[in-house]
Amino acid sequence: MAIRTVIIFCFLFIVADAIADVPKDTFRLANEAFEKGAVDDAIQLYESIASNDFGSTTLYYNLGTAYLKKENWPAARYYLEKARQEHPTRVDLNSNLEYVRERVDDQYNFPHFPLAGFIEQIHSLFGKNFISLLMLFLFIGGILVAYLRPSHWKTSLYIGTAAWILVFSVFLLERKIDTIQHNMAIVWNDQVQLYDKPEVARESKIADLRAGLKVRSLEKIGPWCRVDLADGTSGWIEDKDIRFL
Protein backbone atom coordinates (compact mmCIF):
# COMPACT_ATOMS: atom_id res chain seq x y z
CA MET A 1 0.00 0.00 0.00
CA ALA A 2 2.82 2.38 0.93
CA ILE A 3 4.68 1.59 -2.30
CA ARG A 4 1.53 2.25 -4.35
CA THR A 5 1.07 5.61 -2.60
CA VAL A 6 4.67 6.58 -3.34
CA ILE A 7 4.30 5.56 -7.01
CA ILE A 8 1.08 7.58 -7.38
CA PHE A 9 2.67 10.59 -5.70
CA CYS A 10 5.72 10.42 -7.98
CA PHE A 11 3.50 10.06 -11.05
CA LEU A 12 1.41 13.07 -10.09
CA PHE A 13 4.56 15.09 -9.40
CA ILE A 14 6.00 14.22 -12.82
CA VAL A 15 2.72 15.06 -14.58
CA ALA A 16 2.40 18.37 -12.72
CA ASP A 17 5.99 19.27 -13.56
CA ALA A 18 5.44 18.42 -17.23
CA ILE A 19 2.27 20.53 -17.34
CA ALA A 20 4.13 23.43 -15.73
CA ASP A 21 6.79 23.23 -18.45
CA VAL A 22 4.22 23.56 -21.27
CA PRO A 23 3.74 27.36 -21.01
CA LYS A 24 7.52 27.82 -20.61
CA ASP A 25 8.18 25.94 -23.85
CA THR A 26 5.38 27.78 -25.66
CA PHE A 27 6.69 31.11 -24.36
CA ARG A 28 10.18 30.29 -25.61
CA LEU A 29 8.83 29.38 -29.05
CA ALA A 30 6.81 32.61 -29.12
CA ASN A 31 9.89 34.67 -28.28
CA GLU A 32 11.87 32.92 -31.01
CA ALA A 33 9.09 33.56 -33.55
CA PHE A 34 8.96 37.24 -32.58
CA GLU A 35 12.74 37.62 -32.92
CA LYS A 36 12.57 36.05 -36.40
CA GLY A 37 9.88 38.51 -37.45
CA ALA A 38 7.03 35.97 -37.43
CA VAL A 39 4.87 38.29 -35.34
CA ASP A 40 1.55 36.60 -36.19
CA ASP A 41 2.90 33.23 -35.05
CA ALA A 42 4.27 34.83 -31.88
CA ILE A 43 0.89 36.40 -31.11
CA GLN A 44 -0.88 33.08 -31.58
CA LEU A 45 1.51 31.36 -29.18
CA TYR A 46 1.36 34.14 -26.60
CA GLU A 47 -2.44 34.15 -26.77
CA SER A 48 -2.53 30.38 -26.19
CA ILE A 49 -0.67 30.94 -22.92
CA ALA A 50 -2.81 33.91 -21.83
CA SER A 51 -6.05 32.04 -22.60
CA ASN A 52 -5.02 29.37 -20.07
CA ASP A 53 -4.59 31.95 -17.28
CA PHE A 54 -0.79 31.85 -17.28
CA GLY A 55 -0.53 35.62 -17.00
CA SER A 56 2.59 37.59 -16.10
CA THR A 57 4.08 41.02 -16.65
CA THR A 58 6.49 39.70 -19.28
CA LEU A 59 3.80 37.77 -21.15
CA TYR A 60 1.45 40.75 -21.29
CA TYR A 61 4.28 43.09 -22.25
CA ASN A 62 5.47 40.82 -25.08
CA LEU A 63 1.93 40.29 -26.32
CA GLY A 64 1.16 44.00 -26.21
CA THR A 65 4.40 44.79 -28.02
CA ALA A 66 3.62 42.18 -30.69
CA TYR A 67 0.21 43.74 -31.30
CA LEU A 68 1.91 47.15 -31.40
CA LYS A 69 4.09 45.85 -34.24
CA LYS A 70 0.91 44.89 -36.11
CA GLU A 71 -0.62 48.31 -35.30
CA ASN A 72 -3.54 46.61 -33.57
CA TRP A 73 -3.96 49.47 -31.12
CA PRO A 74 -6.82 48.17 -28.94
CA ALA A 75 -5.14 44.81 -28.35
CA ALA A 76 -1.77 46.49 -27.78
CA ARG A 77 -3.33 48.92 -25.29
CA TYR A 78 -5.20 46.12 -23.52
CA TYR A 79 -2.18 43.93 -22.87
CA LEU A 80 0.20 46.77 -22.07
CA GLU A 81 -2.30 48.11 -19.53
CA LYS A 82 -2.56 44.64 -17.98
CA ALA A 83 1.24 44.48 -17.79
CA ARG A 84 1.33 47.89 -16.14
CA GLN A 85 -1.08 46.71 -13.46
CA GLU A 86 1.52 44.10 -12.55
CA HIS A 87 4.60 46.34 -12.85
CA PRO A 88 3.64 50.05 -12.92
CA THR A 89 7.18 51.49 -13.03
CA ARG A 90 8.75 49.41 -15.81
CA VAL A 91 10.34 51.94 -18.18
CA ASP A 92 10.11 50.11 -21.54
CA LEU A 93 6.53 49.12 -20.77
CA ASN A 94 5.45 52.69 -20.04
CA SER A 95 7.28 53.89 -23.14
CA ASN A 96 5.37 51.47 -25.39
CA LEU A 97 2.10 52.29 -23.65
CA GLU A 98 2.66 56.01 -24.14
CA TYR A 99 3.30 55.39 -27.86
CA VAL A 100 0.01 53.49 -28.20
CA ARG A 101 -1.85 56.25 -26.36
CA GLU A 102 -0.44 58.77 -28.82
CA ARG A 103 -1.59 56.64 -31.76
CA VAL A 104 -5.17 56.49 -30.45
CA ASP A 105 -5.06 60.14 -29.32
CA ASP A 106 -5.81 59.36 -25.68
CA GLN A 107 -3.62 61.81 -23.76
CA TYR A 108 -5.82 62.46 -20.74
CA ASN A 109 -5.23 60.62 -17.46
CA PHE A 110 -7.86 59.45 -15.01
CA PRO A 111 -7.49 61.11 -11.60
CA HIS A 112 -5.18 59.13 -9.32
CA PHE A 113 -6.62 57.65 -6.15
CA PRO A 114 -4.82 58.99 -3.03
CA LEU A 115 -1.53 57.17 -2.37
CA ALA A 116 -1.94 55.18 -5.61
CA GLY A 117 1.67 55.97 -6.52
CA PHE A 118 2.84 54.58 -3.18
CA ILE A 119 0.94 51.33 -3.77
CA GLU A 120 2.37 51.08 -7.29
CA GLN A 121 5.90 51.42 -5.92
CA ILE A 122 5.27 48.59 -3.46
CA HIS A 123 3.90 46.35 -6.22
CA SER A 124 6.86 47.11 -8.48
CA LEU A 125 9.45 46.41 -5.77
CA PHE A 126 7.90 43.49 -3.90
CA GLY A 127 5.02 42.12 -5.99
CA LYS A 128 1.24 42.43 -5.74
CA ASN A 129 0.91 39.99 -2.83
CA PHE A 130 3.43 41.71 -0.55
CA ILE A 131 0.93 43.63 1.59
CA SER A 132 -1.24 40.55 2.18
CA LEU A 133 1.83 38.52 3.14
CA LEU A 134 3.03 41.30 5.45
CA MET A 135 -0.32 41.27 7.27
CA LEU A 136 -0.04 37.51 7.74
CA PHE A 137 3.57 37.84 8.94
CA LEU A 138 2.62 40.48 11.53
CA PHE A 139 -0.26 38.37 12.79
CA ILE A 140 1.87 35.25 13.19
CA GLY A 141 4.74 37.29 14.63
CA GLY A 142 2.45 38.81 17.24
CA ILE A 143 1.24 35.39 18.34
CA LEU A 144 4.80 34.06 18.59
CA VAL A 145 6.01 37.05 20.63
CA ALA A 146 3.06 36.74 23.02
CA TYR A 147 3.79 33.03 23.42
CA LEU A 148 7.58 33.25 23.77
CA ARG A 149 7.72 36.50 25.77
CA PRO A 150 4.60 36.47 27.96
CA SER A 151 6.08 39.09 30.31
CA HIS A 152 6.05 41.63 27.46
CA TRP A 153 2.69 40.72 26.01
CA LYS A 154 1.12 44.15 26.65
CA THR A 155 3.90 46.04 24.88
CA SER A 156 3.88 43.51 22.06
CA LEU A 157 0.11 43.80 21.82
CA TYR A 158 0.15 47.61 21.51
CA ILE A 159 3.00 47.70 18.99
CA GLY A 160 1.63 44.76 17.02
CA THR A 161 -1.88 46.18 16.92
CA ALA A 162 -0.66 49.59 15.74
CA ALA A 163 1.50 48.01 13.02
CA TRP A 164 -1.30 45.69 11.93
CA ILE A 165 -3.83 48.53 11.73
CA LEU A 166 -1.41 50.56 9.61
CA VAL A 167 -0.76 47.69 7.22
CA PHE A 168 -4.47 46.80 7.15
CA SER A 169 -5.30 50.39 6.15
CA VAL A 170 -2.84 50.13 3.28
CA PHE A 171 -4.40 46.77 2.38
CA LEU A 172 -7.89 48.32 2.20
CA LEU A 173 -6.51 51.10 0.00
CA GLU A 174 -4.89 48.47 -2.22
CA ARG A 175 -8.22 46.62 -2.56
CA LYS A 176 -9.97 49.88 -3.48
CA ILE A 177 -7.40 50.64 -6.17
CA ASP A 178 -7.67 47.05 -7.43
CA THR A 179 -11.45 47.44 -7.75
CA ILE A 180 -11.01 50.66 -9.71
CA GLN A 181 -8.53 48.96 -12.05
CA HIS A 182 -10.93 46.08 -12.71
CA ASN A 183 -13.59 48.58 -13.74
CA MET A 184 -11.31 49.90 -16.47
CA ALA A 185 -11.84 48.72 -20.04
CA ILE A 186 -10.49 49.29 -23.54
CA VAL A 187 -12.72 50.24 -26.47
CA TRP A 188 -12.30 47.23 -28.74
CA ASN A 189 -13.98 48.32 -31.95
CA ASP A 190 -13.57 51.46 -34.03
CA GLN A 191 -16.23 54.15 -34.36
CA VAL A 192 -18.11 52.96 -31.29
CA GLN A 193 -21.02 55.25 -30.50
CA LEU A 194 -21.48 56.79 -27.06
CA TYR A 195 -25.07 57.66 -26.08
CA ASP A 196 -26.55 59.77 -23.29
CA LYS A 197 -28.98 56.94 -22.42
CA PRO A 198 -28.88 53.13 -22.79
CA GLU A 199 -30.52 52.83 -26.19
CA VAL A 200 -29.53 53.17 -29.83
CA ALA A 201 -31.00 56.47 -30.97
CA ARG A 202 -29.48 59.04 -33.30
CA GLU A 203 -30.71 61.96 -31.20
CA SER A 204 -29.03 60.60 -28.04
CA LYS A 205 -25.62 60.07 -29.62
CA ILE A 206 -22.81 61.95 -27.86
CA ALA A 207 -19.65 60.92 -29.68
CA ASP A 208 -17.82 58.29 -31.71
CA LEU A 209 -15.08 56.54 -29.74
CA ARG A 210 -11.86 55.29 -31.28
CA ALA A 211 -10.61 51.76 -30.75
CA GLY A 212 -7.94 51.73 -28.06
CA LEU A 213 -9.43 54.41 -25.81
CA LYS A 214 -9.50 53.63 -22.10
CA VAL A 215 -12.82 53.99 -20.30
CA ARG A 216 -14.06 53.42 -16.77
CA SER A 217 -17.25 51.46 -16.17
CA LEU A 218 -19.63 53.11 -13.70
CA GLU A 219 -22.69 50.85 -13.90
CA LYS A 220 -24.25 48.16 -16.07
CA ILE A 221 -27.82 47.72 -17.27
CA GLY A 222 -28.42 44.69 -19.47
CA PRO A 223 -26.07 44.88 -22.47
CA TRP A 224 -25.21 48.52 -21.71
CA CYS A 225 -22.44 50.05 -19.61
CA ARG A 226 -22.31 53.62 -18.39
CA VAL A 227 -18.72 54.75 -18.77
CA ASP A 228 -16.66 57.86 -18.42
CA LEU A 229 -13.51 58.93 -20.22
CA ALA A 230 -10.42 60.54 -18.76
CA ASP A 231 -11.43 63.89 -20.30
CA GLY A 232 -14.65 63.89 -18.27
CA THR A 233 -17.04 62.75 -21.03
CA SER A 234 -19.56 60.15 -19.87
CA GLY A 235 -22.34 58.16 -21.49
CA TRP A 236 -23.62 54.71 -22.39
CA ILE A 237 -21.90 52.12 -24.55
CA GLU A 238 -22.74 48.53 -25.49
CA ASP A 239 -20.55 46.16 -23.47
CA LYS A 240 -19.76 44.10 -26.58
CA ASP A 241 -17.63 47.01 -27.76
CA ILE A 242 -15.30 47.09 -24.75
CA ARG A 243 -12.96 44.61 -23.08
CA PHE A 244 -12.40 44.81 -19.34
CA LEU A 245 -8.87 44.72 -17.99
Please indicate whether residue 149 or residue 103 has the higher confidence score (pLDDT): 103
pLDDT of 157 higher than 70: no
Tens of pLDDT, residues 102-135 = 999 888 776 666 666 666 676 666 766 776 677 6
Tens of pLDDT, residues 32-82 = 999 999 999 999 999 999 988 788 889 999 999 999 999 999 999 999 999
**Model pTM above 0.95:** no
Q: Domain 184-244 - what CATH class? A: mainly beta
Q: Taken in order 36, 39, 41, 46, is the CA torsion positive or negative?
A: positive
Separation of alpha carbons 15 and 18, rounded Å: 5
Tens of pLDDT, residues 168-206 = 666 666 666 665 666 889 999 988 999 988 887 777 788
Which pLDDT belongs to residue 85? 84
Which pLDDT belongs to residue 151? 62
Instruction: Give me the CATH code for the 2-103 domain, please.
Output: 1.25.40.10
Please indicate whether residue 245 or residue 159 has the higher confidence score (pLDDT): 245
Separation of alpha carbons 224 and 198, rounded Å: 6
Instruction: State percent of the chain over pLDDT 90.
Output: 38
**Full DSSP string of the chain:** -HHHHHHHHHHHHHHHHHHHHHHHHHHHHHHHHHHTT-HHHHHHHHHHHHTTT---HHHHHHHHHHHHHTT-HHHHHHHHHHHHHH-TT-HHHHHHHHHHHHHTT----PPPPTTHHHHHHHHHHH-TTHHHHHHHHHHHHHHHHHHH-GGGHHHHHHHHHHHHHHHHHHHHHHHHHHHHHHTEEEE-STTEEEESSSS--GGGEEEEEPTT-EEEEEEEETTEEEEEETTS-EEEEEGGGEEE-
pLDDT of 227 higher than 70: yes
Q: What angle do CA 92, 31, 214 make, to 5 degrees?
A: 45
pLDDT of 4 higher than 50: no
